[in-house]
Amino acid sequence: LLRPDGSIAATVFAEMSALAARTGSINLGQGFPDEDGPLEVLDAAREAIAAGRNQYPPGRGTPELLAAIARHQRRFYGLDVDPATQILVTAGATEALAASILALTEPGDEIVTFEPYYDAYAGLVALSGATLVTVPLRWPDFAPDPDELRAAVSDRTRIILVNDPHNPTGTTFDAATRDLIVELAHRHDAVILTDEVYEHLTFSEPHIPLSTLPGAGERTITVSSAGKTFNTTGWKIGWLVAPAALVSAILTVKQYLTYVSGSPFQPAIARGLDLPDSAFDRIASDLRQKRDVLTRGLQVAGFDVSVPAGSYFTVVDVGPLGFDDAEHFCAELPALAGVVGVPVTAFASTRHRSSYRSLVRFAFCKRLEVLEEASARLAAID
Protein backbone atom coordinates (compact mmCIF):
# COMPACT_ATOMS: atom_id res chain seq x y z
CA LEU A 1 0.00 0.00 0.00
CA LEU A 2 2.86 2.33 0.81
CA ARG A 3 4.95 3.56 -2.08
CA PRO A 4 8.73 3.74 -1.60
CA ASP A 5 8.46 7.53 -1.11
CA GLY A 6 5.99 7.01 1.75
CA SER A 7 2.86 8.13 -0.16
CA ILE A 8 -0.18 5.88 -0.34
CA ALA A 9 -1.20 4.51 -3.74
CA ALA A 10 -4.68 5.37 -5.09
CA THR A 11 -6.89 2.28 -5.49
CA VAL A 12 -6.56 0.60 -8.85
CA PHE A 13 -10.21 1.44 -9.57
CA ALA A 14 -9.73 5.19 -9.19
CA GLU A 15 -6.65 4.94 -11.39
CA MET A 16 -8.35 2.88 -14.11
CA SER A 17 -11.53 4.98 -14.22
CA ALA A 18 -9.39 8.11 -14.54
CA LEU A 19 -7.46 6.43 -17.38
CA ALA A 20 -10.74 5.57 -19.14
CA ALA A 21 -12.04 9.14 -18.76
CA ARG A 22 -8.77 10.69 -19.92
CA THR A 23 -8.52 8.53 -23.03
CA GLY A 24 -12.25 8.34 -23.83
CA SER A 25 -12.04 4.53 -23.56
CA ILE A 26 -14.76 2.03 -22.74
CA ASN A 27 -14.36 1.39 -19.01
CA LEU A 28 -14.42 -2.35 -18.37
CA GLY A 29 -12.10 -1.72 -15.43
CA GLN A 30 -14.03 -0.53 -12.39
CA GLY A 31 -17.02 -2.74 -11.69
CA PHE A 32 -20.12 -0.57 -11.70
CA PRO A 33 -23.22 -0.87 -13.89
CA ASP A 34 -23.90 1.73 -16.59
CA GLU A 35 -27.69 1.62 -16.26
CA ASP A 36 -30.23 1.80 -13.46
CA GLY A 37 -31.72 -1.20 -11.69
CA PRO A 38 -35.38 -1.85 -10.83
CA LEU A 39 -37.63 1.22 -11.09
CA GLU A 40 -39.51 0.23 -7.91
CA VAL A 41 -36.31 0.72 -5.91
CA LEU A 42 -35.58 4.13 -7.44
CA ASP A 43 -39.17 5.26 -6.88
CA ALA A 44 -39.06 4.11 -3.27
CA ALA A 45 -35.99 6.30 -2.62
CA ARG A 46 -37.71 9.32 -4.20
CA GLU A 47 -40.78 8.65 -2.02
CA ALA A 48 -38.66 8.33 1.13
CA ILE A 49 -36.93 11.65 0.45
CA ALA A 50 -40.28 13.34 -0.23
CA ALA A 51 -41.64 11.83 3.00
CA GLY A 52 -38.85 13.48 4.99
CA ARG A 53 -36.74 10.39 5.74
CA ASN A 54 -33.65 12.59 5.61
CA GLN A 55 -32.19 12.53 9.13
CA TYR A 56 -30.07 9.94 10.97
CA PRO A 57 -31.70 6.51 10.88
CA PRO A 58 -31.43 4.08 13.85
CA GLY A 59 -27.89 2.73 14.49
CA ARG A 60 -28.59 -0.84 13.41
CA GLY A 61 -30.65 0.20 10.36
CA THR A 62 -34.23 1.22 9.66
CA PRO A 63 -36.86 -1.25 10.91
CA GLU A 64 -38.26 -1.94 7.43
CA LEU A 65 -34.83 -2.77 5.99
CA LEU A 66 -33.91 -5.01 8.94
CA ALA A 67 -37.23 -6.85 8.53
CA ALA A 68 -36.76 -7.14 4.75
CA ILE A 69 -33.24 -8.60 5.16
CA ALA A 70 -34.64 -11.19 7.59
CA ARG A 71 -37.40 -12.08 5.09
CA HIS A 72 -34.81 -12.31 2.31
CA GLN A 73 -32.64 -14.73 4.33
CA ARG A 74 -35.70 -16.91 4.97
CA ARG A 75 -37.04 -16.82 1.40
CA PHE A 76 -33.78 -17.55 -0.42
CA TYR A 77 -31.85 -19.64 2.12
CA GLY A 78 -34.30 -20.93 4.73
CA LEU A 79 -32.42 -19.06 7.48
CA ASP A 80 -34.16 -17.68 10.57
CA VAL A 81 -32.58 -14.39 11.59
CA ASP A 82 -33.70 -12.03 14.38
CA PRO A 83 -33.90 -8.55 12.79
CA ALA A 84 -33.48 -6.85 16.18
CA THR A 85 -30.17 -8.48 17.14
CA GLN A 86 -28.61 -10.41 14.25
CA ILE A 87 -28.45 -7.83 11.43
CA LEU A 88 -26.47 -4.61 11.02
CA VAL A 89 -26.97 -2.20 8.11
CA THR A 90 -23.68 -0.60 7.01
CA ALA A 91 -22.26 1.97 4.60
CA GLY A 92 -21.80 -0.61 1.85
CA ALA A 93 -20.25 -4.02 2.24
CA THR A 94 -16.95 -2.19 2.71
CA GLU A 95 -17.95 -0.84 6.12
CA ALA A 96 -19.33 -4.24 7.16
CA LEU A 97 -15.92 -5.77 6.35
CA ALA A 98 -14.00 -2.91 7.98
CA ALA A 99 -16.00 -2.89 11.21
CA SER A 100 -15.85 -6.70 11.48
CA ILE A 101 -12.08 -6.85 10.98
CA LEU A 102 -11.42 -3.93 13.36
CA ALA A 103 -13.77 -5.36 15.99
CA LEU A 104 -12.42 -8.90 15.97
CA THR A 105 -8.67 -8.68 15.43
CA GLU A 106 -5.65 -7.47 17.38
CA PRO A 107 -2.28 -6.66 15.85
CA GLY A 108 -0.54 -9.98 15.29
CA ASP A 109 -3.70 -11.98 14.62
CA GLU A 110 -3.84 -13.66 11.23
CA ILE A 111 -6.58 -13.32 8.65
CA VAL A 112 -6.60 -16.01 5.98
CA THR A 113 -8.06 -15.19 2.59
CA PHE A 114 -7.79 -16.32 -1.03
CA GLU A 115 -5.91 -14.45 -3.69
CA PRO A 116 -6.27 -12.68 -5.99
CA TYR A 117 -8.54 -10.73 -3.60
CA TYR A 118 -10.77 -7.68 -3.76
CA ASP A 119 -8.27 -4.89 -3.17
CA ALA A 120 -9.92 -3.46 -0.04
CA TYR A 121 -9.10 -6.65 1.88
CA ALA A 122 -5.38 -5.92 2.03
CA GLY A 123 -6.06 -2.28 2.94
CA LEU A 124 -8.50 -3.13 5.74
CA VAL A 125 -6.26 -5.83 7.19
CA ALA A 126 -3.35 -3.36 7.14
CA LEU A 127 -5.45 -0.76 8.98
CA SER A 128 -6.27 -3.31 11.68
CA GLY A 129 -2.64 -4.30 12.26
CA ALA A 130 -3.47 -7.95 11.62
CA THR A 131 -1.47 -10.08 9.19
CA LEU A 132 -2.90 -11.28 5.88
CA VAL A 133 -2.17 -14.92 4.97
CA THR A 134 -3.28 -15.95 1.49
CA VAL A 135 -4.16 -19.10 -0.37
CA PRO A 136 -3.65 -18.74 -4.14
CA LEU A 137 -6.41 -19.49 -6.64
CA ARG A 138 -4.89 -20.59 -9.91
CA TRP A 139 -5.82 -20.04 -13.54
CA PRO A 140 -8.02 -21.20 -15.19
CA ASP A 141 -10.58 -22.59 -12.70
CA PHE A 142 -9.40 -20.67 -9.62
CA ALA A 143 -10.30 -23.47 -7.16
CA PRO A 144 -8.16 -23.53 -3.99
CA ASP A 145 -5.86 -26.45 -3.29
CA PRO A 146 -7.21 -28.08 -0.08
CA ASP A 147 -3.72 -28.78 1.27
CA GLU A 148 -2.68 -25.16 0.79
CA LEU A 149 -5.84 -24.05 2.58
CA ARG A 150 -5.18 -26.47 5.47
CA ALA A 151 -1.61 -25.21 5.73
CA ALA A 152 -2.69 -21.55 5.85
CA VAL A 153 -5.14 -21.87 8.76
CA SER A 154 -3.67 -22.27 12.25
CA ASP A 155 -4.41 -21.35 15.86
CA ARG A 156 -3.13 -17.85 15.02
CA THR A 157 -6.01 -17.45 12.54
CA ARG A 158 -8.72 -15.17 13.91
CA ILE A 159 -10.73 -14.78 10.69
CA ILE A 160 -11.13 -16.81 7.51
CA LEU A 161 -12.20 -14.20 4.97
CA VAL A 162 -14.11 -15.72 2.07
CA ASN A 163 -15.53 -14.09 -1.06
CA ASP A 164 -18.04 -16.23 -2.94
CA PRO A 165 -18.91 -15.52 -5.79
CA HIS A 166 -15.41 -14.20 -6.10
CA ASN A 167 -14.04 -10.87 -7.29
CA PRO A 168 -11.88 -10.70 -9.44
CA THR A 169 -12.05 -14.28 -10.81
CA GLY A 170 -15.83 -14.88 -10.98
CA THR A 171 -15.35 -18.34 -9.50
CA THR A 172 -17.78 -19.89 -7.02
CA PHE A 173 -16.57 -22.31 -4.36
CA ASP A 174 -17.59 -25.97 -4.55
CA ALA A 175 -19.11 -27.99 -1.72
CA ALA A 176 -15.81 -29.58 -0.72
CA THR A 177 -14.15 -26.18 -0.32
CA ARG A 178 -17.09 -24.81 1.67
CA ASP A 179 -17.03 -27.85 3.97
CA LEU A 180 -13.29 -27.54 4.50
CA ILE A 181 -13.57 -23.84 5.42
CA VAL A 182 -16.16 -24.65 8.09
CA GLU A 183 -14.13 -27.61 9.38
CA LEU A 184 -10.96 -25.50 9.68
CA ALA A 185 -12.82 -22.65 11.37
CA HIS A 186 -14.05 -25.11 14.01
CA ARG A 187 -10.70 -26.80 14.47
CA HIS A 188 -8.88 -23.49 15.00
CA ASP A 189 -11.73 -21.54 16.60
CA ALA A 190 -11.76 -18.91 13.85
CA VAL A 191 -14.61 -16.66 12.73
CA ILE A 192 -15.75 -16.95 9.10
CA LEU A 193 -16.24 -13.54 7.49
CA THR A 194 -17.91 -14.21 4.17
CA ASP A 195 -18.35 -11.51 1.54
CA GLU A 196 -21.31 -12.61 -0.57
CA VAL A 197 -22.07 -9.31 -2.31
CA TYR A 198 -22.60 -11.17 -5.63
CA GLU A 199 -25.08 -13.63 -4.05
CA HIS A 200 -27.74 -12.92 -6.71
CA LEU A 201 -25.33 -12.68 -9.63
CA THR A 202 -24.77 -16.38 -10.38
CA PHE A 203 -25.18 -18.11 -13.76
CA SER A 204 -25.46 -21.84 -13.23
CA GLU A 205 -26.14 -22.87 -9.64
CA PRO A 206 -28.09 -20.84 -7.09
CA HIS A 207 -25.84 -19.31 -4.41
CA ILE A 208 -25.26 -21.29 -1.20
CA PRO A 209 -24.30 -19.07 1.76
CA LEU A 210 -21.59 -20.52 3.99
CA SER A 211 -23.77 -19.79 7.02
CA THR A 212 -26.25 -22.47 5.90
CA LEU A 213 -23.69 -25.25 6.44
CA PRO A 214 -24.04 -27.37 9.59
CA GLY A 215 -22.14 -25.76 12.46
CA ALA A 216 -21.32 -22.60 10.49
CA GLY A 217 -24.02 -20.17 11.63
CA GLU A 218 -22.65 -19.78 15.16
CA ARG A 219 -19.31 -18.42 13.90
CA THR A 220 -20.15 -16.78 10.55
CA ILE A 221 -20.58 -13.13 9.59
CA THR A 222 -22.27 -12.86 6.17
CA VAL A 223 -21.80 -9.60 4.29
CA SER A 224 -23.87 -8.40 1.35
CA SER A 225 -24.50 -5.21 -0.60
CA ALA A 226 -27.55 -3.74 -2.29
CA GLY A 227 -25.22 -1.98 -4.72
CA LYS A 228 -24.53 -5.19 -6.62
CA THR A 229 -28.06 -6.65 -6.70
CA PHE A 230 -29.95 -3.46 -7.56
CA ASN A 231 -27.34 -1.46 -9.55
CA THR A 232 -27.09 1.12 -6.76
CA THR A 233 -23.35 1.07 -6.04
CA GLY A 234 -23.40 4.79 -5.25
CA TRP A 235 -25.98 4.44 -2.48
CA LYS A 236 -23.58 2.39 -0.35
CA ILE A 237 -26.19 0.31 1.45
CA GLY A 238 -24.74 -2.96 2.73
CA TRP A 239 -25.36 -5.20 5.71
CA LEU A 240 -24.12 -8.10 7.70
CA VAL A 241 -25.91 -11.01 9.34
CA ALA A 242 -24.24 -12.73 12.31
CA PRO A 243 -24.87 -14.12 15.79
CA ALA A 244 -26.07 -11.38 18.19
CA ALA A 245 -22.84 -11.21 20.22
CA LEU A 246 -20.77 -10.63 17.08
CA VAL A 247 -23.20 -8.00 15.81
CA SER A 248 -22.92 -6.13 19.16
CA ALA A 249 -19.12 -6.13 18.99
CA ILE A 250 -19.14 -4.93 15.36
CA LEU A 251 -21.75 -2.24 16.13
CA THR A 252 -19.39 -0.83 18.77
CA VAL A 253 -16.84 -0.16 16.02
CA LYS A 254 -19.36 0.85 13.34
CA GLN A 255 -20.82 3.63 15.52
CA TYR A 256 -17.45 5.40 15.40
CA LEU A 257 -16.81 4.82 11.71
CA THR A 258 -19.94 6.28 10.12
CA TYR A 259 -22.49 6.01 12.96
CA VAL A 260 -25.26 5.56 10.34
CA SER A 261 -25.83 6.23 6.63
CA GLY A 262 -28.25 6.33 3.71
CA SER A 263 -31.51 7.09 5.53
CA PRO A 264 -33.86 7.33 2.51
CA PHE A 265 -32.06 4.56 0.64
CA GLN A 266 -32.67 2.01 3.39
CA PRO A 267 -36.47 1.78 2.91
CA ALA A 268 -35.86 1.77 -0.86
CA ILE A 269 -33.61 -1.27 -0.60
CA ALA A 270 -36.21 -2.91 1.65
CA ARG A 271 -38.60 -2.54 -1.29
CA GLY A 272 -36.01 -4.16 -3.57
CA LEU A 273 -35.45 -7.13 -1.28
CA ASP A 274 -39.20 -7.78 -1.26
CA LEU A 275 -39.44 -7.90 -5.08
CA PRO A 276 -40.80 -11.23 -6.39
CA ASP A 277 -38.49 -14.11 -7.34
CA SER A 278 -39.02 -13.25 -11.02
CA ALA A 279 -37.25 -9.89 -10.51
CA PHE A 280 -34.20 -11.62 -9.02
CA ASP A 281 -34.26 -14.19 -11.84
CA ARG A 282 -34.25 -11.37 -14.37
CA ILE A 283 -31.31 -9.62 -12.70
CA ALA A 284 -29.27 -12.84 -13.01
CA SER A 285 -30.41 -13.72 -16.54
CA ASP A 286 -29.76 -10.20 -17.90
CA LEU A 287 -26.26 -10.34 -16.49
CA ARG A 288 -25.73 -13.84 -17.83
CA GLN A 289 -26.49 -12.56 -21.32
CA LYS A 290 -23.90 -9.81 -20.80
CA ARG A 291 -21.37 -12.39 -19.60
CA ASP A 292 -22.00 -14.48 -22.71
CA VAL A 293 -21.59 -11.52 -25.07
CA LEU A 294 -18.33 -10.34 -23.53
CA THR A 295 -16.75 -13.76 -22.99
CA ARG A 296 -17.54 -14.74 -26.58
CA GLY A 297 -16.20 -11.41 -27.83
CA LEU A 298 -12.99 -11.93 -25.87
CA GLN A 299 -12.59 -15.45 -27.28
CA VAL A 300 -13.09 -14.15 -30.82
CA ALA A 301 -10.47 -11.47 -30.09
CA GLY A 302 -8.05 -14.29 -29.31
CA PHE A 303 -7.77 -14.23 -25.51
CA ASP A 304 -7.88 -17.36 -23.35
CA VAL A 305 -10.99 -16.75 -21.25
CA SER A 306 -12.00 -18.08 -17.83
CA VAL A 307 -15.80 -18.06 -18.07
CA PRO A 308 -17.15 -17.00 -14.65
CA ALA A 309 -19.92 -18.77 -12.69
CA GLY A 310 -20.81 -15.61 -10.79
CA SER A 311 -20.04 -11.90 -10.15
CA TYR A 312 -19.71 -9.40 -12.98
CA PHE A 313 -16.10 -10.07 -13.86
CA THR A 314 -14.23 -12.32 -16.28
CA VAL A 315 -10.48 -12.97 -16.31
CA VAL A 316 -8.50 -13.50 -19.53
CA ASP A 317 -4.94 -14.48 -20.36
CA VAL A 318 -3.33 -12.03 -22.78
CA GLY A 319 -0.56 -14.49 -23.74
CA PRO A 320 -2.19 -15.65 -27.01
CA LEU A 321 -2.14 -12.01 -28.22
CA GLY A 322 1.62 -11.93 -27.84
CA PHE A 323 1.80 -10.11 -24.50
CA ASP A 324 3.23 -11.62 -21.33
CA ASP A 325 2.81 -8.67 -18.94
CA ALA A 326 -0.78 -7.67 -18.21
CA GLU A 327 0.22 -4.42 -16.46
CA HIS A 328 1.98 -3.34 -19.63
CA PHE A 329 -0.96 -4.59 -21.74
CA CYS A 330 -3.50 -2.62 -19.65
CA ALA A 331 -1.41 0.53 -19.87
CA GLU A 332 -1.31 0.17 -23.67
CA LEU A 333 -4.92 -0.94 -24.11
CA PRO A 334 -6.53 2.53 -24.36
CA ALA A 335 -4.23 3.34 -27.28
CA LEU A 336 -4.46 -0.15 -28.79
CA ALA A 337 -8.24 -0.52 -28.60
CA GLY A 338 -9.92 2.28 -26.60
CA VAL A 339 -10.78 -0.14 -23.79
CA VAL A 340 -9.75 -0.28 -20.11
CA GLY A 341 -9.28 -3.45 -18.02
CA VAL A 342 -7.51 -4.15 -14.74
CA PRO A 343 -4.38 -6.32 -14.41
CA VAL A 344 -5.06 -9.14 -11.95
CA THR A 345 -1.74 -8.35 -10.24
CA ALA A 346 -3.62 -5.38 -8.69
CA PHE A 347 -5.47 -7.97 -6.60
CA ALA A 348 -2.40 -9.99 -5.61
CA SER A 349 0.22 -9.98 -2.88
CA THR A 350 3.87 -9.51 -3.80
CA ARG A 351 4.42 -13.18 -2.94
CA HIS A 352 2.02 -14.54 -5.57
CA ARG A 353 1.96 -11.67 -8.04
CA SER A 354 4.00 -13.52 -10.67
CA SER A 355 1.30 -16.25 -10.96
CA TYR A 356 -1.10 -13.61 -12.31
CA ARG A 357 1.35 -11.76 -14.53
CA SER A 358 -0.49 -12.27 -17.83
CA LEU A 359 -4.09 -12.02 -16.55
CA VAL A 360 -6.56 -9.14 -17.00
CA ARG A 361 -9.99 -8.64 -15.39
CA PHE A 362 -12.81 -7.17 -17.49
CA ALA A 363 -16.20 -6.12 -16.04
CA PHE A 364 -19.34 -7.00 -18.01
CA CYS A 365 -21.96 -5.05 -15.98
CA LYS A 366 -22.38 -2.75 -18.99
CA ARG A 367 -25.06 -2.33 -21.67
CA LEU A 368 -25.00 -4.98 -24.42
CA GLU A 369 -24.11 -2.45 -27.11
CA VAL A 370 -21.14 -1.29 -25.02
CA LEU A 371 -19.93 -4.89 -24.62
CA GLU A 372 -20.35 -5.50 -28.35
CA GLU A 373 -18.41 -2.34 -29.21
CA ALA A 374 -15.65 -3.28 -26.74
CA SER A 375 -15.48 -6.78 -28.26
CA ALA A 376 -15.19 -5.37 -31.77
CA ARG A 377 -12.43 -2.99 -30.70
CA LEU A 378 -10.51 -5.79 -28.97
CA ALA A 379 -10.89 -8.07 -32.01
CA ALA A 380 -9.26 -5.35 -34.13
CA ILE A 381 -5.98 -5.40 -32.13
CA ASP A 382 -3.19 -6.60 -34.40
List interacting residues with ligand GLN (CB under 6 A): 11, 13, 30-31, 167
Q: Across the beta sheet with 342-343, what order do the strands follow?
A: 304-306, 313-317, 359-363, 342-343
The answer to the question of residue 163 lying near ligand PMP (CB under 6 A) is yes
Site for ligand PMP in 66-105 (CB under 6 A): 92-94
Residue (298 or 365) nearer to ligand PMP, CB: 365
* Of positions 225, 229, 231, 306, contacts ligand PMP by CB under 6 A: 225
Residue (236 or 357) nearer to ligand PMP, CB: 236
The one-letter amino acid at 335:
A
The answer to the question of residue 238 lying near ligand PMP (CB under 6 A) is yes
* Cβ 240 to ligand PMP shortest distance, Å: 11
Say how far apart CA 232 and CA 226 lie, in whole Å: 7
* Cβ 316 to ligand GLN shortest distance, Å: 16
30 makes contact, choosing from ligand GLN, ligand PMP, none, with CB < 5 to 8 Å by partner type, with ligand GLN
299 makes contact, choosing from ligand PMP, ligand GLN, none, with CB < 5 to 8 Å by partner type, with none
Say how far apart CA 262 and CA 158 lie, in whole Å: 31
Residue (195 or 317) nearer to ligand GLN, CB: 195
* Cβ 226 to ligand PMP shortest distance, Å: 7
The answer to the question of residue 202 lying near ligand PMP (CB under 6 A) is no
Piece of 132-140, 172-180, 214-222, 232-240 that binds ligand PMP (CB under 6 A): 232-240
Count of positions on this chain that bind ligand PMP (CB under 6 A) = 14
Which residue number places its CB atom closest to ligand PMP?
A: 92
The answer to the question of residue 233 lying near ligand PMP (CB under 6 A) is yes
**Backbone φ/ψ region at 112: left (φ over 0), alpha (ψ -120 to 50), beta:** beta
Say how far apart CA 291 and CA 358 lie, in whole Å: 21
The answer to the question of residue 167 lying near ligand PMP (CB under 6 A) is yes
Say how far apart CA 196 and CA 198 lie, in whole Å: 5
The answer to the question of residue 29 lying near ligand PMP (CB under 6 A) is no
Site for ligand PMP in 265-304 (CB under 6 A): none
343 makes contact, choosing from ligand GLN, ligand PMP, none, with CB < 5 to 8 Å by partner type, with none
Between vectors from CA 349 to CA 170 and to CA 112, what angle results, nearest 5°?
75
11 makes contact, choosing from ligand GLN, ligand PMP, none, with CB < 5 to 8 Å by partner type, with ligand GLN
* Of positions 87, 191, 197, 365, contacts ligand PMP by CB under 6 A: 197
Binding region for ligand PMP (CB under 6 A)? 31, 92-94, 118, 163, 167, 195, 197, 225, 227, 233, 236, 238
